[in-house]
């Protein structure tokens, strides 16, 4: 076994499965970006934070939106500022360099130490977005046209890319990545995760809550199934409210922390027969 | 090293490229792994780029490292066959008693043994699995849930992990490329200005700048995006079998059309009752009621079927062709609910209009505008889907 392979061992605030840890180490050893997919709330984004903390490296986060262009991650040439300065400013507009602003990718390349780079929710962007970054992620190098300069990474950043599979990613991009799919944690792993967040939680409360939680997840027909972050919110609410254990599974207090959509909430209420048919119930009823 | 594994993966339709294979070789040569389990994860992370292929990978891994031939397609056929309880009759009294005595582990082992033997001897296939295939196998024996080693996460043997085949439900394969239908479907769009204002409105900009005495004044607007959501409901099996190829073309065209905002597809047999099915084999169902509740009414619904059945299947309670369906609401009412809920529905019929005089076809034709499943019919139907009601 090579010594510098098992670099990442997790961090105290993040519970990691063996296979994921393996994928992280493979991607670091080979210097290839790690592509992470999985249900919402399985800790895709937090993984990058954990790597940064675990290896004591700085983290650069590039949040992708539907309007994000690949170029923005490298650098932006602020022409508007320059135009403004040429009219009213007192700066020397012939020095273009001062109007070149490095994006997150550019900053990660030029950092003096190795950093962790998180490209969050890459599938939110345009379908061509990943293709535009192929060379940059592969060679870790890009060229600034305006000042005729090449920026190359001093240290290859540890790149983590998350995706919710809203769009199909291009094959050429996938070929260059290491891939891992995070499954929804089973009850045992979930218990471990909860204990990291709420170390003082009582065993019987946690046990009861987890049983209820997984039962709720099995109900078909929720538009958004409750996930880890909702569970933790709920447990916090239960502790803060001082709810006795026996009420947890019977009443499911603070259900609003688990079900975030109105239709899910209504569905839950009618299913458990807690609500007399109101307006919504009536229209629902006529269908039968 | 392991070159055969590469070809097995390709054979199982995992799109592994040479680049990725070379990456794996590089990782191996650097000595990153010390046992088979690490190899399992390492190779999966490097070679497989979608959870949809995890199951194929597991199957390939199992085959390469265990040396047992278990093509998924055959296994699925066997599962189908197992479901049919009449097959149990082929067992002799003695054999049945033998199987009833075995515990789960034994059953699994026996099943795998038979499975292996079956692929080796071609003719005896049905007989072997027939003997192995009492329903306990189908449900708990071969199915991953049955083999699953619960809770234990560390130190499991890699082949065992592969054997679990936990990712079977993520599979998404089988598409045909049919350009013609795709082009027709392209007409199915509704461009709305949504999202952030990020498109330069040139006309307005010039206007505003002129008004501003030549000082630049930018005007931005939202860009146009397709907002069409499609729900495809297909009749499969029975009288539709001769048209299966046609339906599968329509399906693959719709499935690979990336311009829809959302595309959902479900299956039924002859008529829609309480449930619709997620797969062609009609194993997994979703309640129709739930569907009507969860899906917004702006989904464009395309129903595909010959609409030809016995009249009571459509109009009678408990009329469904599958006796276990036990529908206490007649199919016609369910169809009406669908027609009422969604703003735009069409019915595509693969049979020629000259055959549409059958009573059930006429009844359904009154609920849904019906078109022939030809290029012309499809174009007409799509026009109907686009116009406002």
> Which of chain B's residues have a Cβ under 8 Å away from the Cβ of A18?
41, 153-154
**Does A282 contact B at CB distance below 8 Å?**
no
**Does B187 contact A at CB distance below 8 Å?**
no
Q: Using one digit for the tens of pLDDT, what is the confidence trace for A3-14?
A: 466 777 777 778
SS3 track for B238-291 = HHHHHHHHHHHHHHHHHHHCCCCCEEEEEEEECECCCEEECCCCCCCEEEHHHH
Task: Using CB atoms, pick whichever of A5, A127, A175 lies closest to residue B19.
Answer: A175
Q: Is the ipTM of this complex over 0.90?
A: no
**Does B177 contact A at CB distance below 8 Å?**
no
Q: Give the pLDDT band of residue A166 (cuts 50, 70, 90).
A: low
What's the gap in Å between the CA of A180 and the closest CA on chain B?
A: 6
Q: Lowest-confidence range among B116-120, B204-208, B351-355, B377-381?
A: B116-120
Q: Using one digit for the tens of pLDDT, what is the confidence trace for B302-354?
A: 998 888 888 888 888 777 776 666 778 888 889 999 998 998 899 988 888 88
SS3 (DSSP) at B60: helix
What's the gap in Å between the CA of A61 and the closest CA on chain B?
A: 22
Q: How many Cβ atoms sit within 10 Å of the Cβ of residue B109?
A: 12
The predicted structure's pLDDT at residue B169? 46
Task: Using CB atoms, pick whichever of B34, B44, B289 lies closest to residue A287.
Answer: B289
**Does A284 contact B at CB distance below 8 Å?**
yes
Q: Lowest-confidence range among B18-22, B279-283, B326-330, B364-368?
A: B279-283
What's the gap in Å between the CA of A174 and the closest CA on chain B?
A: 6
- Which sign does the torsion angle of CA B279, B282, B285, B291 carry? positive
Q: Is 80 exceeded by the pLDDT of residue B224? A: no
C-beta atoms of A127 and B50 within 8 A: no
Q: Give the pLDDT band of residue B171 (cuts 50, 70, 90).
A: very low
Report DSSP state, residue B112.
H
| Largest Cα span, chain B | 100
Quick one: which H or E segment has residue B372?
Answer: strand B370-372
The predicted structure's pLDDT at residue A51? 92
| B341 contacts B272 by C-beta, under 8 angstroms | no
Comparison of pLDDT for A69 and B280, the residue scoring more:
A69
The predicted structure's pLDDT at residue B109? 58
Q: Is 60 exceeded by the pLDDT of residue A231? A: yes
Quick one: which H or E segment has residue B116?
Answer: helix B104-120
Q: How many Cβ atoms sit within 10 Å of the Cβ of residue A245?
A: 15
**Does A113 contact B at CB distance below 8 Å?**
no
What's the gap in Å between the CA of A1 and the closest CA on chain B?
A: 6
C-beta atoms of A221 and B20 within 8 A: no
Q: Is 90 exceeded by the pLDDT of residue A274? A: no
C-beta atoms of B46 and A178 within 8 A: yes
The predicted structure's pLDDT at residue B128? 40
Going from the C-alpha of B314 to that of each of A172, B104, B275, B310, B380, the distances in angstroms are 50, 43, 15, 7, 26
* Beta-bridge mates of residue B230: B263, B300
State what percent of residues in chain A have pLDDT above 70: 90
The predicted structure's pLDDT at residue A49? 92
Query: For residue A18, what is the nearest residue in chain B, using CA coordinates?
Result: B154
**Does A134 contact B at CB distance below 8 Å?**
no
C-beta atoms of A188 and B151 within 8 A: yes
B14: closest CA among B48, B37, B45?
A: B48
The predicted structure's pLDDT at residue B210? 81
What's the gap in Å between the CA of B210 and the closest CA on chain A?
A: 19
SS3 (DSSP) at B133: coil
**Does A37 contact B at CB distance below 8 Å?**
yes
From the DSSP assignment, how many helices (H) and strands (E) are in chain B?
Answer: 19, 9
Interface of A with B in 188-207 (CB under 8 A): 188-189
**Does B223 contact A at CB distance below 8 Å?**
no
Mutation test of the interface with chain B: which of A2, A5, A26, A67, choosing the one with the most B Cβ atoms within 10 A? A26
Comparison of pLDDT for B136 and B382, the residue scoring more:
B382
End-to-end CA distance of chain B: 63
Q: Lowest-confidence range among A116-125, A169-178, A262-271, B222-231?
A: A262-271
Quick one: which H or E segment has residue B347?
Answer: strand B344-349
The predicted structure's pLDDT at residue A252? 80
C-beta atoms of A223 and B294 within 8 A: yes
C-beta atoms of A175 and B292 within 8 A: no
Q: Is 60 exceeded by the pLDDT of residue B79? A: no
How far is the C-alpha of B310 from the C-alpha of B289, rounded, in Å?
24
The count of CB pairs under 8 A between chains A and B is 83
The predicted structure's pLDDT at residue B141? 33
- Rounded average pLDDT over B47-54: 84
* Phi (first) and psi of residue B223, to 5 degrees: -85, 160
C-beta atoms of A177 and B286 within 8 A: no
If phi over 0 gives left and psi between -120 and 50 gives alpha, with beta otherwise, what is residue A219? beta
- Which sign does the torsion angle of CA A230, A235, A240, A242 carry? positive
A183: closest CA among B311, B126, B164?
A: B164
Q: Give the pLDDT band of residue A107 (cuts 50, 70, 90).
A: very high
How far is the C-alpha of B53 from the C-alpha of B22, rounded, in Å?
19
> Which of chain B's residues have a Cβ under 8 Å away from the Cβ of A288?
329
| A141 contacts A134 by C-beta, under 8 angstroms | no
**Does B20 contact A at CB distance below 8 Å?**
yes
């Amino acid at each position: 076994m090579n010594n510098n392979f098992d670099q990442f061992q997790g961090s105290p605030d993040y519970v990691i499965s063996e296979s994921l840890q393996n994928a992280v180490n493979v991607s670091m050893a080979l210097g290839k970006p790690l592509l992470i997919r999985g249900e919402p709330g399985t800790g895709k984004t937090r993984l990058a934070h954990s790597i940064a903390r675990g290896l004591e490296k700085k983290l650069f986060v590039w949040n992708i939106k539907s309007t994000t262009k690949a170029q923005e991650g490298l650098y932006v040439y602020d022409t508007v500022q320059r135009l403004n300065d040429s009219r009213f400013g007192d700066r020397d507009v012939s020095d273009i360099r001062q109007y070149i602003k490095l994006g997150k990718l550019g900053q990660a390349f030029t950092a003096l130490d190795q950093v962790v780079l998180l490209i969050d929710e890459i599938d939110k962007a345009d379908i061509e977005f990943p293709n535009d970054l192929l060379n940059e992620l592969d060679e870790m190098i890009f060229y600034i046209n305006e000042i005729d300069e090449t920026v190359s990474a001093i240290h290859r950043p540890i790149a983590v890319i998350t995706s919710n599979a809203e769009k199909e990613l291009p094959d050429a991009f996938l070929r260059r990545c290491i891939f891992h799919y995070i499954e929804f944690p089973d009850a045992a792993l979930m218990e471990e995760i909860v204990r990291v967040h709420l170390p003082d939680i009582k065993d019987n409360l946690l046990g009861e809550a987890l049983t209820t939680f997984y039962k709720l997840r099995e109900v078909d027909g929720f538009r958004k199934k409750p996930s880890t972050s909702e569970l933790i919110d709920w447990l916090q609410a239960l502790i803060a409210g001082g709810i006795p254990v026996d009420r947890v599974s019977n009443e499911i207090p603070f259900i609003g922390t688990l079900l975030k959509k109105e239709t899910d909430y209504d569905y839950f209420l009618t299913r458990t027969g807690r609500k007399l048919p109101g307006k919504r119930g009536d229209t629902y009823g006529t269908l039968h | 090293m392991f070159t055969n594994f590469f070809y097995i993966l390709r054979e199982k339709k995992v799109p592994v490229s040479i680049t990725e294979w070379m990456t794996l070789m590089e990782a191996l040569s650097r000595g990153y792994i010390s046992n088979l389990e690490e190899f399992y994860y390492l190779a999966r992370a490097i070679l497989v780029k979608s959870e949809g292929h995890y199951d194929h990978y597991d199957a390939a891994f199992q085959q390469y490292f265990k040396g047992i031939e278990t093509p998924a397609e055959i296994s699925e056929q066997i599962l189908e066959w197992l479901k049919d309880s009449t097959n149990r009759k082929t067992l002799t009294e003695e054999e049945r008693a033998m199987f009833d005595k075995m515990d789960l582990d034994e059953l699994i082992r026996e099943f795998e043994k038979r499975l292996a033997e079956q692929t080796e001897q071609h003719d005896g296939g049905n007989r072997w699995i027939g003997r192995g295939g009492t329903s306990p196998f189908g449900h708990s024996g071969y199915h991953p849930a049955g083999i699953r080693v619960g809770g234990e996460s560390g130190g499991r043997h890699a082949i065992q992990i592969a054997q679990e085949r936990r990712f079977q439900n993520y599979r998404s394969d089988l598409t045909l490329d049919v350009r013609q239908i795709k082009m027709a479907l392209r007409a199915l769009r509704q461009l709305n200005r949504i999202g952030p204002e990020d498109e330069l409105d040139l006309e307005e900009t010039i206007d505003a700048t002129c008004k501003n005495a030549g000082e630049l004044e930018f005007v931005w607007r939202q860009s146009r995006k397709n907002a069409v959501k499609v729900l495809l409901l297909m009749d499969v099996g029975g009288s539709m079998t001769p048209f299966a190829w046609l339906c599968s073309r329509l399906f693959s065209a719709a499935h690979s059309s990336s311009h829809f905002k959302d595309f959902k597809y479900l299956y039924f047999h002859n008529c829609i009752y309480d449930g619709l099915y997620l797969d062609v084999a009609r194993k997994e169902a979703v309640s129709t009621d739930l569907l009507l509740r969860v899906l917004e009414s702006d989904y464009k619904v395309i129903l595909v079927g010959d609409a030809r059945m016995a009249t009571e299947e459509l109009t009678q309670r408990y009329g469904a062709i599958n006796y276990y369906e036990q529908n206490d609401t007649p199919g016609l009412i369910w169809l009406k609910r669908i027609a009422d809920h969604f703003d735009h529905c069409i019915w595509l019929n693969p049979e020629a209009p000259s055959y549409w005089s059958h009573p059930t076809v006429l009844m359904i034709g009154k609920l849904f505008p019906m078109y022939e499943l030809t290029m012309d019919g499809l174009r007409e139907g799509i026009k109907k889907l686009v116009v406002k009601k």
